[in-house]
Amino acid sequence: MDLRAFLVALVADWISLSSGIASIILTVLAVIRRWEKIPVPALWGTAAVCFLLAAARIWTTEHRRAEQLSRTIDQLSKPSLEGKIGQLGISPVAFPSEVRVVAVLLIRNTGTDSYIDGWDLRADLPDGRRVHAAKRHAMVGEQQVLPWGDKELVYSPEDSIFTKLPLKRGDQIAGVISFGFSGIPFDTLAQAGTRFVVSVRDVIGTSYSTPAWSSQGVPVEPLYFPGTHPTLRKKGHQH
């Protein structure tokens, strides 16, 4: 707001306050104190109070507008990612010797266009230990298999999370990613109560984490997410 606009707004608000609530208060005081006319000091005092209130109200309004504008600019100029684990499966792998965790991630970008260049999977075990995956598998161009009870969900190479990047503002994607844990027995990771958290880092170094995911048993029907095209088959069956 420029000086002229500020002064115009100040005078308008000052007059509004003086002729509104201030005049009512002075009228009530005049009746209570039985004034024949309102004393000049009371008029000047009321005018001064109204002036200060008007200035404060204008400053507060403009300050709130400036803060809102700053938040809007931040939203438009910085990435802002939200994510969660849609579903997750765990299986032992003979070569390389590891426990592989395959997850379907749901990610939404409410900020400016961005790219994710850092990935991590953490497992919080029921005994209090916290372990991180030793590696992240890109597996671009390969199928990814998510164990599902006595069956398995097979995701095509196009379902890889890496084929859905970069993220434009407003994008909501679902994609598959896998991690490998070394030196941690399968039964330890797969036990009830283990909680998994995926963390990502965007190109400006900001980190984001999903809410913790823990198994509640295998649902009767597998979950499907827009943008992924898994097929369900018997475990170990190859086409």
Q: What is the pTM of this model?
A: 0.68
SS (H, E, C) 157-174: HHHEHHHHCCECCCCEEE
Among 56, 77, 98, the domain-final residue is 77
What pLDDT does 36 receive?
65
Among 45, 77, 109, the domain-final residue is 77
Q: Are 107 and 195 part of one and the same domain?
A: yes
Q: Are 208 and 125 part of one and the same domain?
A: yes
The CA distance from 35 to 136, in Å, is 84
Question: Does 239 map to a domain?
Answer: no
The CA distance from 102 to 146, in Å, is 6
Q: Helix, strand or coil for residue 88?
A: strand
> Along the 239 residues of the chain, how does pLDDT read in single tens digits?
566 776 666 667 666 666 666 666 656 666 676 666 666 676 666 677 777 777 787 778 887 888 887 777 676 667 889 999 999 999 988 777 899 999 999 999 988 899 998 999 999 999 999 999 998 876 667 888 888 878 889 999 999 999 999 999 899 999 999 999 998 999 999 988 999 999 999 988 999 999 999 876 555 677 889 989 999 898 766 65
Whole domain around residue 155: which residue ranges? 81-234
- Interval 44-80: pLDDT, tens: 666 777 777 777 877 788 878 888 877 776 766 678 8
Residue ranges of E strands in the chain = 81-93, 98-109, 116-124, 130-132, 135-137, 144-148, 151-155, 172-181, 195-202, 207-209, 213-214, 231-234
- Interval 156-187: pLDDT, tens: 999 999 999 999 989 999 999 999 999 899 99
Q: How many domains are there within the chain? A: 2
The CA distance from 35 to 62, in Å, is 40
Write out the two tokens for 202: 């965007």
Q: Are 29 and 90 part of one and the same domain?
A: no
CATH number at residue 183: 2.60.40
Among 77, 102, 124, the domain-final residue is 77
What pLDDT does 81 receive?
93
